[in-house]
Amino acid sequence: MLKDNLFKIHTFEDNQGSAVFGITLNPEAAIYKAHFPGHPITPGVCIVQIVVELLNEYLKENYKLSLAKNIKYLQVISPVDTPNIAVELKKIVIDGDTVSVQAAISNDVTLFTKMSIQCTK
């Protein structure tokens, strides 16, 4: 849904049970024209969806968000100021049709967001 429009994957590292994706945000994506004109920031709901899409990419499955808990938006993510960010997926636990994951979104100096989510098939 957002991959290849709002963001593109440029690196991927598989760490045996965890993964780190390097992504680039597209400042020309339509969502940024409304959120916010002249000073775009990535909406929280889009950050969560990015994590879900990257989890699907990693697991080669099609999960949908079923529970979001403990989401902390620590800094805004600007596609202009910080277009290149890393999304780390860790503590991935698969239980039947449900998967739980902890995610951290950062760059070299800033932790932007961290969350725990659960997805189901």
Annotated domain spans of the chain:
7-120
| Whether 9 contacts 23, CB under 8 Å | yes
Taken in order 31, 86, 73, 70, the sign of the CA dihedral is positive
**7-120 has which fold?**
Thiol Ester Dehydrase; Chain A (3.10.129)
Residue 37 in this model has a pLDDT that exceeds 90: no
pLDDT tens, position by position, 95-114: 999 999 999 999 999 999 99
Question: At 29, is the pLDDT very low, low, confident or very high (cuts 50, 70, 90)?
Answer: very high
Helices (H), the chain: 30-34, 44-59
> In the block, which residue shows the tokens 């991935």?
92
Rounded CA gap, 2 and 58, in Å? 16
Mean pLDDT score of the chain: 96
- The predicted structure's pLDDT at residue 69: 87
Eight-class DSSP state of 84: E
Measured CA distances, 16 to 13, 33, 42, 102 (Å): 9, 38, 29, 15
pLDDT tens, position by position, 68-93: 989 999 999 999 999 999 999 999 99
Among the residue ranges 32-36, 103-107, 115-119, the one predicted with the least confidence is: 32-36
